[in-house]
Structure 1
Amino acid sequence: RTKLVEKIAESDDTLIEKYLEGGELTDEEIHKGLREGSITRRFIPVVCGSAAGNIGIQQLLDTISVCLPSPLEMANITPIFGVNPRNDEKIERKPAESDPLSMRVFKTIADPFAGRLTIFRVFSGVLKADSTVYNSTRESREKIGNIFYPLGKKQVPVQKAGPGEIAVVAKLKYTKTGDTLCDMGNPIRFEQMKFADPMISYAIAPKSRGDEEKVSTGLQKMLDEDPTLKFHRDTETKEMILSGMGQVHLEVTLEKLKRKFGVEVEMKTPKIPYRETIKRSSRAQGRYKKQSGGRGQYGDCWIEIKPLRGGANFEFINKIVGGVIPRQYIPAIEKGITETMLGGIIAGYPMVDLQAKVYDGSYHPVDSSEMAFKIAGSMALKKAVQGANAVLLEPILKIEVVTPDEFLGNVIGDLNGKRGKVQGVEPMSGGNQNIIALVPMAETLTYANQLNSLTSGRGMYSIEFSHYEEVPAHLAQKIIAERTKPKEE
């Protein structure tokens, strides 16, 4: 306590003089020193507690009341600036009722009974019930109905809200968290709030069949509440993917989904979008012949496949001469090849980076058809791939990890253990290091939890897709065996 009082006394010349003379400060003087030091940012008060255990909550509220400045005090320390959305001209707003209305939305709540609740703070002017405001972020108008003060779980109706006040309105159509609402005749747009990118993703599925639509609808409403959540359907793996800041974050989200919308969801690691390709050239014939009375089916083609470099996904070349295959059947051969590539051959993953050339074949003047040549093209590709040294490719991610100096060795060692390739390490301010590495996606699915453990919760990272690389042979065998196992059974 002595050290704390000394620090507080240093915030004011009068207080330090009295403290040095007498060694004691009254509660009022301590509060004054706390307030002055907090407002001028000479120090930052730290309060300990637990919201879950309702410990320290009253102390936190008391500290806010004592230490933090009112909007009027902050106007002289940190003026409120925005831009005119029409010309990007800088504008200042004062926390006064006489200034034009301006406010920012800082939270949205999806209430299953009241609908969407928008919580905002008024910076200037007065918001009145049953009025119209302008959303300068979305360039749209919003109708304001009743206004409420939030008081715990209760909402107290009021007729207006002024500078510095926090209030709630319901059922705004376009407004989202971070948006600026203002007077239509005096528009202003405040700097957009920046939200962290998700650090972890999981595949989710409802426990009860038929609840997919409920899950999707409920999560879309919860995305309004929490902009750090992301949700999408993976068109390739057919999974619903939920992304957030950590495993606990996602677990809390799914618990709220159950409580608010009555749907239970299971969470599991998402599937990896592997690819298939070939490493050498190969030739093969695809010949489809079917005779069962009446008109039969006949299609015959020879193709050559080669690895394709330079990032192109697929290339088809027609080298038929002399009419051995009529021109109208060539697109069917290409379609048979591309559809087979999409379904994969060695493990059921899409095939990429391949050139296919049709150079020979034959046809029947009566029995040949587009369907027959489509099947022939598919058969030719499957045979050719058998001699082309087909391999699996896996997505490689570029990962940037920020960690305190003392954990650098542990983090790099962990990345190396994940088949990662460290590209560089850059020193940062504050005793941190920025590590840049390339790591297979399969090794990063639970990295957020592992990094927290390695750095005592002080590390952070971001990831982005880089490229595809061949999967090591011993791992590819396991993936292919697991992928084809249900088919064999």
Structure 2
Amino acid sequence: MADKGNARRPAGQDLGASSPDRIRNVVLVGPGGSGKTTLAETLLASAGALPRAGSVRDGTTVCDFDDAEHKHGRSISLSVAPVVHRQTKVNLVDTPGYADFVGDVRAGLRAADCALFVIAANDGVDDATKTLWRECADVGMPRAVVITKLDQARADYDGVLAQAQTAFGDKVMPLYVPERSSDGEVTSLTGLLDSGDGAYDELRGSLIEGVIEESEDETLMDRYLGGEEISSEVLTDDLETAVARATFFPVVPVCSVTGVGCAELLDLAVTGFPSPSEHPSPEVFTPAGATTEAIDCDPKGPLVAEVIKTTSDPYVGRLSLVRVFSGTLTSDQAVHVSGHFSSFFGAEQGHEDHDEDEKIGALSYVFGRTLVPAEAVVAGDLCAIGRLSRAETGDTLSSTDDPRVLRPWSMPEPLLPVAIQAASKADEDKLSQALGRLAAEDPSVRIENNAETHQLVIWSMGEAHAEVMIERLAERYSVNVEQVPFVVSLRETFSGPGKGHGRHVKQSGGHGQYAVCDITVEPLPEGGGFEFVDKVVGGAVPRNFIPSVEKGVRAQMERGVRNGYPVVDLRVTLTDGKAHSVDSSDMAFQMAGGLALREAGAATTVTMLEPLDTVSVIVPDDLVGTIMSDLSSRRGRLLGTDKVGEDRTVIKAEVPQTELVRYAVDLRSATHGAGSFTRTFAHYEPMPEEVARQIEPRDHH
């Protein structure tokens, strides 16, 4: 993230901001390949923050957080670069477009107050684009639409604009019209709010009506329809109101190759986008969970800031990208760090609640991978803090004498499991700490150490996400791992009654080992657990060894009797046995109890039980049939469907977990990124015998 020893102000710009009113936090959102990063670079170059467009790629300054960007050839993490335009600091927050990295998209939405929704003129609006639009809509993010790649061979500005209006509503309206030369090159933009060109009267009229429909002046529409000329100043003020309400979405065409449209886009950001003080702040609580009064974006208010992103750098260690919502951060300031994911979202998120005081290190403004020293950072601004060792992504920073907790933003649920093991003993010694750091950096990763399967599992958003996590283990933390097949936690149960005889007799000089026991087994109803019944008569098994038999039976139940999975829902009755006055022992009767259960399992039918999840799959209406058929092919039991919005349907089904291992990948492929699903454990039920016969026995060693 940081260039070693390269902490200079980009192109001589002063990146400090004295007031929230002089800050705009703008996140770039759009599908992969739409040109977000190139647009950010071009905006920086056009404002003089970079020597030229594209210098991001030669290492002069880098508009990304880590070197993996270059390896994968696409943005895979959130990055920040500020530009000063018209005495206003515009923090450009670039986000990945690939679905695996939606966690960084949501982090970027939290950091910003308005979004540039980027669509390529040669690609149009697909289902993945619609999904990202919903991500913005779900958090009420104000948006402007930027149509890029106007110079591409298949570019169709008018067609893509029409697609956007169809997909996102009639309040998506062009603010500018691209003007082309005789050979088709975009040479300039004409602004519709101040255009006197009669060729654009209809477009201009629709735009003005759309803007003043959001005006707080209820007389404005009547005056306009009555023929009054509305001043551009009034329209600009009402445009900001309309955009801030996330009910009106101006469209700006931009050509990143020539820079046409960049000045207009930055003007819109400064004059038409809400400042941090105009954008609602998150809910605030005390660490104990009590609601507190809302915070204002006031540099003189109580300190409340949030860690938007954490990453590790080989030169400066851990870096925390922070959004200041209230107060002012200063270097060497003592802060209270609060992490309360579990309180808001449940312990299954894998992030334990924590509260501690820390002294922050140096403050910096972030310019891609360059850090520019900062003395103080006011409310509304973004900065980086070095060596904040205990803070995780999503944590709140506040004053030590008045600690606060912000409600964290909603994190996506990682649904693709990848089982790993250390490549060597040296890797094993470092693996746990390295995984903990990865989870602290990226809340869309969940680390599971499964006590039943004894597997270490990285739950990720998809294959690309998992690949990046494994690469970071190797490159950042020098920990190499190997992927192994993921194991689902199955169960075994007896299908009918049976008998077992356990005999453990050994003579090896001195004291031997002697224990014999006879048991009967009976299945219990689902959820019946385990019962042990003593029906021994005449002291055939001495009283002090009866608990030993039970202990041995329980141990064998954990190890299984068919394929090595735990046995459940069983009653075991001890009916008879034999003991020796010298050679019998606790351990001998434990061994005999286990042997008796194994023999009972061999003498009767043992059924494999598999866990089923209730899944809710949301897909576009035209894919409902395809996805229902796919769920049925996975042995799913369909439970019903419901409409979601205008063009999507949720399909509910119960599906065996063994059929869901790669469902996150398969669903994305089948729906071209438009489908999503959630899963919750339902229950265990018998696995079909033809499936059970394919299970490899587990090795408990």
TM-score range, shorter chain: 0.7 to 0.9
Tell me if structure 1 keeps the 8 A contact 2:282–2:407.
Answer: no
Please, which of 248, 252, 271 is the counterpart of residue 43 of structure 1?
Answer: 248
Name the counterpart of 2:653: 437
Give TM-score, length-normalised by structure 1: 0.86
User: In structure 2, what residue type is equivalent to 1:367?
Assistant: D
Please report how far the alpha carbon of residue 450 of structure 1 lies from its aligned counterpart in structure 2 after TM superposition: 1.2
Mapped to 2, the partners of 1:449 and 1:141 lie a distance apart of 41
- From 413, 417, 420, the equivalent of 1:197 is 413
Q: Does 1:82 align with 2:284?
A: yes
> Partner of 1:117 in structure 2?
319
1:98 maps to amino acid: K
1:262–1:119 Cα change, 3 Å: same
- Identity fraction in percent: 32
Which of residues 480, 483, 489 in structure 1 aligns to 2:697?
483
Match for residue 228 of structure 1? 444
2:294 is matched with: 92
Q: Compared with structure 1, are the counterparts of its residues 47 and 242 closer, same or farther at alpha carbon in structure 2 (3 Å cutoff)?
A: farther
**Residues of 1 paired with 2:422 and 2:260: CA distance?**
40
Which secondary structure state, in structure 2, belongs to the residue aligned with residue 468 of structure 1? strand
Residues 59, 177 of structure 1: alpha-carbon distance in 2 compared, 3 angstrom cutoff = farther
Q: Secondary structure at the match of 1:237?
A: coil
Structure 1 residue corresponding to 2:328, chosen from 126, 134, 137: 126
CA drift of 1:15 comes to: 12
Q: How does 1:331-346 map to 2 (within 5 A)?
A: 331-346=547-562
Match among 629, 632, 637 for residue 421 of structure 1: 637
Deviations 1:200-237 (A, max 9, x none): 11112344554123333322212111101011222232
Instruction: Provide the C-alpha distance between the structure 2 equivalents of 1:212 and 1:60, rounded to a whole number of angstroms.
Output: 50
What is the rounded CA distance, in whole Å, between the counterparts of 1:423 and 1:61 in structure 2? 54
Q: Can you give the 5+ residue segments of structure 1 that lack an aligned partner in the other structure? A: none
Counterparts of residues 32-181 of structure 1 (less than 5 Å): 37-44=242-249, 63=265, 66-67=268-269, 73-76=275-278, 78=280, 82-83=284-285, 88-135=290-337, 137=339, 138-181=354-397
Gap change, CA 1:92 and 1:280, over 3 Å in 2: closer
Residue 328, structure 1, aligned to residue 544, structure 2: yes
Letter in 2 for 1:218: A
Is contact 2:559–2:565 with CA below 8 Å preserved after alignment?
A: yes
- Which amino acid in structure 2 is aligned with residue 483 of structure 1? P
Q: Which moved more, 1:342-351 or 1:175-184?
A: 175-184
Deviates more, 1:256-265 or 1:140-149: 256-265
Indicate if the aligned counterparts of 2:517 and 2:578 stay in contact, CA closer than 8 A: yes
What is the aligned partner in structure 2 of residue 4 from structure 1?
174
Matching residue's letter, 1:407:
L
Aligned residues, how many?
478
Q: Distance in 2 between matches of 1:83 and 1:465?
A: 31
Corresponding residue for residue 262 of structure 1: 478
1:141-160 per-residue CA deviation (whole Å, 9 max, x = no partner) reads: 22123211111211111211
Question: Which range is displaced more, 71-80 or 255-264?
Answer: 71-80
| Aligned position for 1:352 | 568
Extract unaligned runs of 5+ from structure 2. 1-156, 159-172, 176-202, 213-219, 340-353
User: Counterparts of 1:86 and 1:289 in 2: how far apart (Å)?
Assistant: 60
Q: Is the contact made by 2:423 and 2:480 (CA closer than 8 Å) also made in structure 1?
A: yes
Distance change >3 Å, CA 387–CA 70, structure 1 → 2: same
Deviations 1:237-273 (A, max 9, x none): 2322001111221112222333222334333441122
Q: TM-score, normalised by structure 2?
A: 0.61
In the TM superposition, what whole-angstrom CA distance separates every residue of 1:66-90 from its partner, at most 9, and x where no partner exists?
3367997453464676345578354
Name the SS of the counterpart of 1:93 in structure 2: coil
3-state SS of paired residue (2:294):
strand
Match of 1:219 among 416, 435, 449: 435
- Contact 2:328 2:377 (C-alpha < 8 Å) held by counterparts: yes
- The CA distance in 2 between the partners of 1:125 and 1:145, in whole Å, is 18
Distance, in Å, in 1 between the alignment partners of 2:588 and 2:381 is 73
The CA distance in 2 between the partners of 1:405 and 1:55, in whole Å, is: 38
The AA in structure 1 aligned to 2:174 is: L
- C-alpha distance 391-354 of structure 1, shift in aligned 2 (>3 A): same
